Amino acid sequence: MMNDRYSSLLKSADNISKQLRELVKENKFFQIVSHIDADGVAAAGIISKALIRENARFNVRIIKRLSASEIKALSDGREKKAYIFLDMGSGQFEKISQTLGDKTTVFIIDHHEILTRRETDTILELNPHLHGLNGSSEISGAGVTYILAKSLNQKNTDLSPLALVGAIGDIQDKGPQRTFTGLNNDIILSDAVNRGLVKVVKDILLFGSETRPVHLALKYTSDPFIEGLTGEEDKCIAFLTNLDIQLKRDGDWRTLSDLNQEEKVKLYSALVTYMLQIGYDTKSAEQLIGTKYIITSEEDGSPLKDIREYAYTLNACSRLGYSGLAVSLCLGDRDKALLEAQNIINEYRQRISKYISWLKEPGRVKEYEYLKIIHGEDLIDDRMIATIASIYSRITARSENKVLLCFAYKSEGDGVKVSARGTDALVKKGLNLNQALRKAVTEMGLTESEAGGHDIAAGAEIPVGSEETFASYLNKIIKSQIGVD
Ligand SMILES: [Mn+2]
């Protein structure tokens, strides 16, 4: 039985999938444009698989940001193509409509917040916010794409695990014990479990619990970030040895899944005690236990077995410039592709720890009343600034209730890439970074579409040299949002 809450969105998906099917029948060529993060890549994987099933012709482009110049560049030969924007587009509706909407059909399949409902004959928009549903917390870009794909063909329910990968990539596992809520849970996870594609287990959430020796899984755990253990191999080994947990058995490294129940309990309580001792609150410490989603068809030991690691893998490949490889993993490419992905993951991990230790050096963080600001200049790759912002905000958020604002110079062209991260507590008080960033760029005389995102996380692009002006506008806007006088 389907929840009434969802009927409006599902009806819209049915209408849009009908029009998509018409274009497939006309043998239209589809230009797919999606976002560089794990959610965007998973969305591209879902629509690609769905279009292959319909024998449609298409091409995929993965981009960092849908700027006005990007839309313009896409418009070549537009009368011959249909466009599908995934995990983006709702924030650029006007520009898309002006540049592409006059000549062809455009699909916008997005979950980013929209403020007003707009309609044209040529632009078809599927977005949960248009149906009173929360795109920040209960469905991702990959999820919305999944809803469309399922409506196109019931066979596409085999793509439900990918939609969950996208949701985890966008940190939507925010229900009790890191579960999914709303559409992610009621439709997508339910399809995945009913088809036997995903298994749900409660466990300690160390990173790479299926694939890595337990001391490395501990070392790589960054959510929660465990000060003194995360990133520090020697200390992780010492921690486990102190607990009498054998690192090897019969000469082989043991993974977390190799530990017996008694050892797991011992490890968990020692970690919680340690975190409380060094100043974490109970809630952060409890984040260590949660819900794991295992893809049954993937091999044991594969980084694609656990959907959290799957999302991490897609993100790493895509952000380091291998988005083609990331999409092909979603399409089922394994063996050689997977080996290549593993090398990229190692490189990505090294870069992140280099950036984080750079950020921890004294003097890197500037403080405003409601902001902590870091400027990565050209030292932090602008493709990775959003990831660094997310990780670093987890390290700092526990002690201070401020918005983390990160800047980095763009590697191509002029401009500064902006990433802002809030906390759940601030969102509860009224923080909405999507609206705040859009307002700040407008106050600077830029167009609203230079910024966008969600209440808790958003990004923008501003001219070089305007960082301070932007920060002071944002500081003021945040102040008014969270209602302090
Ligand atoms: Mn997304």
Ordered by where they begin, the domains of the chain are: 4-157 (3.90.1640.30), 202-356 (no CATH), 361-481 (3.10.310.30)
Please tell me the distance between residue 223's alpha carbon and the centre of ligand 1 in angstroms. Answer: 19
Please tell me the distance between residue 222's alpha carbon and the centre of ligand 1 in angstroms. Answer: 20
Check residue 3 and give its pLDDT: 64
Please tell me the distance between residue 450's alpha carbon and the centre of ligand 1 in angstroms. Answer: 17
Check residue 333 and give its pLDDT: 97
The answer, yes or no, to whether residue 380 has pLDDT greater than 80, is yes
Per DSSP, 171 falls in state T
Per-residue confidence band for 115, with pLDDT thresholds at 50, 70 and 90: low
Please tell me the distance between residue 418's alpha carbon and the centre of ligand 1 in angstroms. Answer: 17
Q: Is 77 helix (H, G, I), strand (E, B) or coil?
A: coil
Per-residue confidence band for 41, with pLDDT thresholds at 50, 70 and 90: very high
pLDDT single digits (tens) 241-258: 999 999 999 999 999 989
- Ligand 1 ion local residues (Cβ < 5 A): 39, 87, 141, 170
| Cα(87)–Cα(94) distance, integer angstroms | 16
| Cα(425)–Cα(430) distance, integer angstroms | 9
The answer, yes or no, to whether residue 441 has pLDDT greater than 50, is yes
The mean pLDDT of 352-358, rounded to a whole number, is 85
Please tell me the distance between residue 485's alpha carbon and the centre of ligand 1 in angstroms. Answer: 33
The answer, yes or no, to whether residue 398 has pLDDT greater than 70, is no
Pick the closest to residue 300 from 208, 218, 221, 201 (CA basis).
Answer: 208
Question: Which pair of structure tokens corresponds to residue 174?
Answer: 């925010």
The answer, yes or no, to whether residue 485 has pLDDT greater than 70, is no
Pick the closest to residue 426 from 403, 404, 406 (CA basis).
Answer: 403
Please tell me the distance between residue 89's alpha carbon and the centre of ligand 1 in angstroms. Answer: 11
Spatial neighbors of 312 by CB under 8 A, at least 6 apart, are: 38, 207, 303, 345
| Cα(139)–Cα(148) distance, integer angstroms | 13
Please tell me the distance between residue 296's alpha carbon and the centre of ligand 1 in angstroms. Answer: 25
The mean pLDDT of 340-352, rounded to a whole number, is 91
Please tell me the distance between residue 82's alpha carbon and the centre of ligand 1 in angstroms. Answer: 22
Check residue 423 and give its pLDDT: 86
Contact present, 223 and 178 (Cβ < 8 Å): no
Identify any residues that bridge with 347 across adjacent strands, giving them in sequence order. Answer: none
Spatial neighbors of 134 by CB under 8 A, at least 6 apart, are: 128, 182
Please tell me the distance between residue 254's alpha carbon and the centre of ligand 1 in angstroms. Answer: 35
Least confident window among 102-106, 209-213, 267-271: 209-213
For strand 457-462 and strand 451-453, is the pairing parallel, antiparallel, or unpaired?
A: antiparallel
Residue type, 170: D
Please tell me the distance between residue 36's alpha carbon and the centre of ligand 1 in angstroms. Answer: 10
| Cα(424)–Cα(419) distance, integer angstroms | 17
Pick the closest to residue 374 from 350, 398, 335, 402 (CA basis).
Answer: 402
Pick the closest to residue 214 from 204, 200, 226 (CA basis).
Answer: 204
% of the chain beyond a pLDDT of 70: 97
For strand 81-86 and strand 106-109, is the pairing parallel, antiparallel, or unpaired?
A: parallel
The mean pLDDT of 263-292, rounded to a whole number, is 89
Contact present, 88 and 127 (Cβ < 8 Å): no
The answer, yes or no, to whether residue 339 has pLDDT greater than 90, is yes
Please tell me the distance between residue 111's alpha carbon and the centre of ligand 1 in angstroms. Answer: 7
The answer, yes or no, to whether residue 476 has pLDDT greater than 80, is yes
Please tell me the distance between residue 39's alpha carbon and the centre of ligand 1 in angstroms. Answer: 5
Please tell me the distance between residue 228's alpha carbon and the centre of ligand 1 in angstroms. Answer: 31
Q: Is 93 helix (H, G, I), strand (E, B) or coil?
A: helix
Please tell me the distance between residue 51's alpha carbon and the centre of ligand 1 in angstroms. Answer: 21
CB atoms within 10 A of CB 196: 9
Terminal-to-terminal C-alpha distance of the chain: 48
Please tell me the distance between residue 38's alpha carbon and the centre of ligand 1 in angstroms. Answer: 8
Please tell me the distance between residue 20's alpha carbon and the centre of ligand 1 in angstroms. Answer: 22
Please tell me the distance between residue 282's alpha carbon and the centre of ligand 1 in angstroms. Answer: 29
Please tell me the distance between residue 232's alpha carbon and the centre of ligand 1 in angstroms. Answer: 31
Tokens 């990004």 map to which residue? 459
Contacts by 388-393 with C-beta closer than 8 Å and gap 24+?
388/352, 388/355, 388/356, 388/359, 388/419, 389/419, 389/420, 389/421, 389/457, 390/171, 390/421, 390/457, 391/222, 391/225, 391/352, 391/356, 392/356, 392/359, 393/421, 393/423
Asked whether the bond before 213 is cis by omega within 30 degrees of 0, the reply is no
Please tell me the distance between residue 103's alpha carbon and the centre of ligand 1 in angstroms. Answer: 27
Please tell me the distance between residue 245's alpha carbon and the centre of ligand 1 in angstroms. Answer: 39
Please tell me the distance between residue 331's alpha carbon and the centre of ligand 1 in angstroms. Answer: 19
Per-residue confidence band for 1, with pLDDT thresholds at 50, 70 and 90: very low
